[in-house]
Amino acid sequence: MPEDKKPNRLIHESSPYLLQHAHNPVDWYPWGEDALQKARQEDKPILVSIGYAACHWCHVMEHQSFEKETIADIMNAHFVCIKVDREERPDVDAVYMDAVHAMGLQGGWPLNVFLTPEAKPFYGGTYFAPQQWEGLLQNVAEAFTKNRQELDKSAEQFAAHLNQSELEKHGLSERNFHVREDDFRLMGYNLSTRFDKKLGGLGQAPKFPMPTNYLFLLRYHVHTSDQSALRQVHLTLREMAYGGIYDQIGGGFARYSVDAEWLVPHFEKMLYDNGQLITLYAEAYQATRETLYHEVVYETIAFVERELMSPEGGFYSSLDADSEGEEGRFYTFTKDELHTILGPEEPLFSKYYHATAAGNFEHGRNILHRRTSDEDFAREHELEIEVLLEMVQNWKKKLMEERAKRIRPALDDKILTSWNALMLKGLADAYYVFGNDHFLDLALRNANFLLQKVLQGDKLFHNYKEGKATIDGFLEDYALVARAFTRLYEVTFDEKWLQQAHKLTAYTLENFFDETEGMFFFTDQSSEKLIARKKELIDNVIPASNSVMATNLHFLGLYFDEERYTTLSNEMLASVKDLLVKEPSHLSNWAALYYHKLTPTAEVAIAGDEAARMRDELSAFYHPNMILLGSQNGQSSLALLKDKTPLGGKTTLYVCYNKTCQLPVHQAAEALEQLQRVEQNPKFPPL
């Protein structure tokens, strides 16, 4: 970065993405009233350029255009230029991404949108090559002067589109209240039409992990015993874990694979993917006892702790794809490099990880990947399995030592509340399944960090860096933290986490809820007003904040016996049901909630000194439609635990459905029998 150049206004920002642009000759403003006011006062169009630190093409456009004096001169003369980190301001990104889609253009990042001085969009696009960009800037500047009325009219139409209800946009004008077995099975079928049955995942390249799809399929299999759903989960999780999308040496997943084989990733590693994939692989292990999934969970947690955890206990956002000016340079090896590191073991290593002299990536480099299980490889090469496993660990150690000498990919060291919540839930889920105390220690450290650094009074903030939290929390922050804290309660039985989840939910009902549509806005009513106040309905790489809220309301409605929460959760699900049945791959977190409504959610209360041990015994079995409560001494503020006491001085388990309990039992095995009996023959009609 040319430090000798005079910095622009971005130098005072905390976002690494904005700081990357702080020495551009472009007179960048951060998003805020200063920039918007300047545009109004000078009657200038606004250019909003949106990206994020790990975005490869964002870097390319910066080097090609934003660092060039001649292009910067045009931008500065004719526009008020605003740089936005989409991860810090998902609200701004959502509004202008929607506008670009409304223009009939493909979305993506970098996102470059031209606005009127009132911040209403009239033109946009993604990456532009330098000549193209220069021409576009001049054309837009000229059109703004000569065809102003036309541009204003166009901007008004886009603004009207942006303010259209999300439910209306998807044709969801009526609520469909019925929760039916047939519709649930139709969701499973409609999702299955998109399965890639050869390579795993959905559809063709590029392929994203999309964890909520497979979390839904695990639940679908539990309910229907449909083996094809479980086969697709197995196939996808195995192919991802064997592929280049997974860091075979250091653990952790890249954001997506550019091909259908999961081989060539876009090498950036994001916290939100890894948090959710820990949850997915932990649940899949619990359901199947597949040792590969155990390995993936342990290695991925080790990666996050090693490379993304701050000294204060927060988790950083991401690692860049590039280092030394090349994508994937840090993670890939030539055959010669491997021979130097591993000596006589290199040929066997190269068979195991499919490394060749020609390489399978740029510059003769190899993306390490696997194709067979350890057992099959050991058999084929006449090795004892224990010997192979020891060799693999030794290879990983040597290559990690070698990588430690390399120039590392850039770290985006801002801490985002919603992404931390996904990682926190991943750690709690991993602790529940594997019982590893270190996972719980990491989870509690992170949960306490969130309480101390991003929660102020009843309000959450979205970001944290260098002692400061500056951006008001969005719905995703409240929803995901409440979900993670609820899970943390289940694995600790410390009621402060559940009470905190309850408080956060109450805050969202007060400050985010739209009574008219029965859904939640993405932004707090007390936060900055943009030209549109959006709602998030579609589950994406991160599940939609409304689907997470509807799930929270379902579970917290049970924990706190809050009828209003339960009713609202039902109504939210009913609002999206017609689209959900048709398009489950875009609403798979909603589909998982549908599963919880189809048969009653079990309320399992454990009272007595052995509560934690009994919970550990229950965790050996996969029961996703269950909430857990516990107290050692019968003391609790929760209504569901008020009358649940240890009977005869022995730890007692109560399995209840719809406020009706089975006979109290003293053994986890007996409680499991009760759970299985009701799951196979539900006595209670669905809601």
What digits encode the pLDDT tens for the residues 349-373? Answer: 999 999 999 999 999 999 999 999 9
Domain containing residue 297: CATH number: 1.50.10.10
193 and 303 in a single domain? The answer is: yes
Query: b/e per residue, 96-131, with b = 16+ CB within 10 A?
Result: bbbbbebbeeebebbbbbbbbbebbbbbbbbbbeee
554 and 464 in a single domain? The answer is: yes
Q: Residue ranges of the alpha helices (H) in 404-474?
A: 417-434, 437-453
Domain containing residue 111: CATH number: 3.40.30.10
Instruction: Quick: pLDDT tens for 150-185.
Output: 999 999 999 999 999 999 999 998 898 899 999 999
Strand order in the sheet with 111-115: 29-30, 80-85, 46-51, 111-115, 121-125
In a domain, 260, yes or no: yes
Average pLDDT, the chain: 95
571 and 612 in a single domain? The answer is: no
Residue 319 has pLDDT above 70, yes or no: yes
Is the separation of the CB atoms in 277 and 241 below 8 Å? Answer: no
Residue 684 has pLDDT above 60, yes or no: no
457 and 519 in a single domain? The answer is: yes
pLDDT at 367: 98
Give the 3-state DSSP-derived string for 82-137, with helices as H, strands as E and coil as C.
EEEECCCCHHHHHHHHHHHHHCCCCCCCCEEEEECCCCCEEEEECCCCHHHHHHHH
Residue 427 has pLDDT above 90, yes or no: yes
Is the separation of the CB atoms in 282 and 371 below 8 Å? Answer: no
Give me the amino acid identity at 67. E
Last residue of a domain, one of 405, 420, 444: 405
Instruction: Quick: pLDDT tens for 487-519.
Output: 999 999 999 999 999 999 999 999 999 999 999
Q: Is 258 helix (H, G, I), strand (E, B) or coil?
A: coil
Is the omega angle on the peptide bond into residue 311 within 30 degrees of 0, that is, cis?
no
**Angle at which helices 181-192 and 588-598 pack, to 10 degrees?**
150
46 and 107 in a single domain? The answer is: yes
In a domain, 365, yes or no: yes
Instruction: Report which secondary-structure segment, H or E, holds 415.
Output: strand 415-416
Instruction: Quick: pLDDT tens for 459-483.
Output: 999 999 999 999 999 999 999 999 9
The boundaries of the domain holding residue 389 are 331-405
pLDDT at 682: 59
The answer, as to whether pTM is greater than 0.85, is yes
Q: Is 172 helix (H, G, I), strand (E, B) or coil?
A: coil
Q: Closest by alpha carbon to 556, among 609, 497, 599, 510?
A: 497
307 and 369 in a single domain? The answer is: no
In a domain, 170, yes or no: no
Q: Is 661 helix (H, G, I), strand (E, B) or coil?
A: strand
Over range 637-666, report the average pLDDT. 91
pLDDT at 633: 72
352 and 432 in a single domain? The answer is: no
Number of domains in the chain: 4
614 and 571 in a single domain? The answer is: no
In a domain, 686, yes or no: no
CA dist 583 and 665 (Å) reads: 42
284 and 427 in a single domain? The answer is: yes
Residue 686 has pLDDT above 50, yes or no: no
Q: Give me the residue label for tokens 């021409």.
A: 135
Q: How far from 142 is each of 40, 76, 79, 88, 135, CA to CA, in Å?
A: 18, 14, 12, 32, 11
Q: Residue ranges of the alpha helices (H) in 118-226?
A: 130-146, 148-162, 166-169, 181-192, 211-224
Instruction: Quick: pLDDT tens for 587-622.
Output: 999 999 999 999 999 999 999 999 999 999 999 999
CB neighbour list of residue 452: distance below 8 Å, 6 or more residues apart: none
- 422 C-beta neighbours (distance < 10 Å), count: 28
256 and 319 in a single domain? The answer is: yes
CA dist 109 and 374 (Å) reads: 39
In a domain, 651, yes or no: yes
CA dist 239 and 246 (Å) reads: 9
Q: Is 497 helix (H, G, I), strand (E, B) or coil?
A: helix
In a domain, 687, yes or no: no
Residue 387 has pLDDT above 50, yes or no: yes
Rama region for 343: left / alpha / beta (φ>0; ψ in -120 to 50; rest): left
β-pair partners for 665: 653
Give the whole-number percent of the chain exceeding pLDDT 70: 98
pLDDT at 2: 47
Last residue of a domain, one of 598, 623, 638: 598
Is the separation of the CB atoms in 651 and 618 below 8 Å? Answer: no
Over range 23-42, report the average pLDDT. 97
Over range 320-349, report the average pLDDT. 95
**Angle at which helices 417-434 and 271-288 pack, to 10 degrees?**
20
Over range 378-393, report the average pLDDT. 97
Tokens of 587: 């609403």
β-pair partners for 472: 461
Last residue of a domain, one of 560, 582, 598: 598
Residue 685 has pLDDT above 70, yes or no: no
pLDDT at 687: 32
Which range has the worst mean pLDDT, 282-286, 412-416, 511-515, 658-662?
A: 658-662
pLDDT at 577: 97
In a domain, 146, yes or no: yes
pLDDT at 440: 98
Over range 540-544, report the average pLDDT. 96
Instruction: Report which secondary-structure segment, H or E, holds 606.
Output: strand 602-607
Q: Give me the residue label for tokens 């605003």.
A: 82
487 and 564 in a single domain? The answer is: yes
Domain containing residue 617: CATH number: 3.40.30
Rama region for 148: left / alpha / beta (φ>0; ψ in -120 to 50; rest): alpha
In a domain, 212, yes or no: yes
Q: Closest by alpha carbon to 214, among 652, 640, 543?
A: 543
633 and 593 in a single domain? The answer is: no
CA dist 417 and 540 (Å) reads: 18
